[in-house]
Structure 1
Amino acid sequence: MSTSRPQTILFADVSGSTRLFETKGDVEARRLIAAVLDALSLICQQHGGRVIKTIGDEIMCTLPGAINGLLAACDMQRKMARDIDFVRDNLAVRIGLHHGDALEEKDGDVYGDAVNTAARMASLAKREQIVTTAATVQGIGGKSPETRSLGRARVSGKLLPIEIVDVVWQEDTSGMTMVQSAIRLGDAAGHSAGAKLRLRHRGKLIELDENSEPYMMGREATNHLVVEADWVSRTHAQVEFKRGHFMITDRSTNATYVRIGEDDELRVHRDELHLRKTGTISLGQAVVLNVQDVIYYEAD
């Protein structure tokens, strides 16, 4: 029988593991990933948590409280930044976590809203970053690490986007990048208020705002925008408002081509890009080869 209780769910995965297999070979790449997951598992246990499972290059943990999860996540990032073996091989992790109610099965596995939200936070995190919900850090007080707002993001199963934050784990923040030193919690609403994105395709106008669900584009009829062409994948790309910006994420075989303003066209493949100013989006082929199905965008 399942029991529900509040707990912190944490996901961490090795950043760039696909390239690791390409450059190091299967055997060495597996050894390096195993070493990282072993180190993360130990830190989880040191903070009173337990490892639920490891899947490939990812680890899923549960910890008793929000502060346990936040401190464990910070120690995981510091371990990756300080361990000479990890630094030498340019290894890094991205971490997402959330505190909430989760169903716990007899076999120890956990399910539910908290798990889904934590997984979503991990998907938003970048290399060497910790992303969590604002709700997770609220109420902890002075023990909590510093956080910086990343705006709002959609989570499956929730009607409205939720506030998310970047956890500052670096002890010396003087060298932080502009992305890492994003606006503080509370400032994001004013920064992104009224954000709009207009897409035009074959005379059709689509308007998105920060509360819009992810806008899917591809060959299948289930997409919001259907582009029927052999070079377009079934689910090719999506546009979503997250971290205070409209982002396009490519999920395709043949890539997505984006031109921002007067800049050169960019090839985005299994990656994401911030849509700024005005420009064009072309699925599967460069604009010059795909004139009829060019998507024009304008971001406010």
Structure 2
Amino acid sequence: MTALSRPQTILFADVSGSTRLFETRGDVEARRLIALVLDALSEVCRQHGGRVIKTIGDEVMCTFPKAINGVLAACDMQRRMARDINFVRESLAVRIGLHHGDALEEGDGDVYGDAVNTAARMASLAKREQVVTTAATYDGLSGKVPEARSLGKARVSGKLLPIAIVDLVWQEDTSGMTLVQSSTRAGAGIDDAAAPGVLRLRHRGEVVELRPDSEPFLMGREHGNHLVVEADWVSRTHAMVEYKRGHFMITDRSTNGTYVRIGEDDELKLHRDELHLRKSGTISLGQSFGVNTGDIIHFEAG
């Protein structure tokens, strides 16, 4: 069976909060509601000339011949969710990611390749009621297109450098939003409007500056981390700071957790979770601030 590679737009949409739905409504009712959402999304897909490749659990995968078809379908999917009283009543919403690029199409209709992986990554970055796509996909659009907001850059598996991403504005009322006008395609790049920030980390007199295109910054007990903290309560690879979804995020990977204090707020304990590092504050690996007095990491977001 020969695979054919051709440019197409890949779109992933999944139901936000489906785990909570199963917990609160039970398996049977939750499956029924999710099926209704996937049916509605599939209908919108076909209305825009798309094809439903498959549904997996609470997710639907679609393909479109052109980027504009996928973009308009994604916006209409969000509008459909926002306008359907049945979905609103149940607090159901979706998050959507898409990308236009070359994909391999098998004889059975399934698609594979870089475009699929990138689209899946966009979906993983999207939040509830959000449509995220690559700036390259947005820049390739023509005619009347939705507005977009820059989300900075994000790393995608298999790509050496982070790529610029945007959030499509599907809402009719856009008052109060900071927009990246579609005219950026003709002149200034999407990065010009992103105003990339800097995150400064300070530990024992040493200062490190992280930027949106910096590689993930690893902290832990083991040599090979960017920041080594030799203490029994610190895991080998304890935590990671990286730029994604337009923010610097810290992700805990440890046994004992990572403690973060933003400004003068109470400390927060992360355990296998992530947090947006905003403004300025402190980080303690493996111990509460009340116990750790010697290895505090200070951060400042520019």
Q: Could you tell me the TM-score, scaled by structure 1's length?
A: 0.83
Q: Please state how far the C-alpha of 1:272 moved relative to its aligned partner.
A: 4.1
What per-residue deviation string (whole Å, max 9, x for no partner) do you get for residues 12-57 of structure 1? 1111222222222233222222221121122112222222222222
Unmatched 5+ stretches in structure 2: none
**Alignment match, 2:284:** 282
SS in 2 for 1:99: strand
Verify: 1:90 aligned to 2:55, yes or no: no
Which stretch has the larger CA shift, 284-293 or 230-239? 230-239
Contact 2:135 2:190 in 1 (8 A): no
Letter in 2 for 1:78: R
**Alignment match, 2:300:** 298
Q: Please state how far the C-alpha of 1:250 moved relative to its aligned partner.
A: 4.7
What per-residue deviation string (whole Å, max 9, x for no partner) do you get for residues 193-252 of structure 1? 4x3323345776544222112334568888655778898778764322234432224567
Which stretch has the larger CA shift, 93-102 or 243-252? 243-252
**Alignment match, 2:198:** 196
Relative distance call for 1:173 and 1:42 in structure 2 (3 A) is: same
Contact 1:67 1:143 in 2 (8 A): no
**Alignment match, 1:151:** 152
Query: d(CA) in 2 for partners of 1:234 and 1:17?
Result: 34
Which stretch has the larger CA shift, 14-23 or 270-279? 270-279
Q: Please state how far the C-alpha of 1:170 moved relative to its aligned partner.
A: 0.9
Q: Please state how far the C-alpha of 1:87 moved relative to its aligned partner.
A: 0.2
Verify: 1:33 aligned to 2:10, yes or no: no
Contact 1:9 1:118 in 2 (8 A): yes
Query: d(CA) in 2 for partners of 1:223 and 1:110?
Result: 37
Which stretch has the larger CA shift, 135-144 or 111-120? 135-144
Q: Which has the larger radius of gyration?
A: 2
Relative distance call for 1:183 and 1:288 in structure 2 (3 A) is: farther
**Alignment match, 2:110:** 109
Query: d(CA) in 2 for partners of 1:220 and 1:109?
Result: 43
Contact 2:151 2:194 in 1 (8 A): no
Q: Could you tell me the TM-score, scaled by structure 2's length?
A: 0.83
Query: d(CA) in 1 for partners of 2:155 and 2:5?
Result: 24
SS in 2 for 1:9: strand
Relative distance call for 1:218 and 1:67 in structure 2 (3 A) is: farther
Query: d(CA) in 2 for partners of 1:46 and 1:93?
Result: 18
Query: d(CA) in 2 for partners of 1:20 and 1:113?
Result: 32
Relative distance call for 1:190 and 1:63 in structure 2 (3 A) is: closer
Verify: 1:214 aligned to 2:216, yes or no: yes
SS in 1 for 2:174: coil
**Alignment match, 2:125:** 124
Relative distance call for 1:291 and 1:35 in structure 2 (3 A) is: farther
CA RMSD, aligned part only? 3.1
Query: d(CA) in 2 for partners of 1:95 and 1:260?
Result: 30
Letter in 2 for 1:82: R
Relative distance call for 1:45 and 1:248 in structure 2 (3 A) is: same
What per-residue deviation string (whole Å, max 9, x for no partner) do you get for residues 146-191 of structure 1? 22222222222222222211111112223x6x5xx45555465365
SS in 2 for 1:141: coil
1:2-17 to structure 2, matched below 5 A, reads 2-17=3-18
SS in 1 for 2:170: coil
Q: How many residues of Structure 1 are paired with residues of Structure 2 in the alignment?
A: 295
Contact 1:219 1:229 in 2 (8 A): yes
Which stretch has the larger CA shift, 48-57 or 121-130? 48-57
1:36-51 to structure 2, matched below 5 A, reads 36-51=37-52
Instruction: Report % sequence identity.
Output: 77
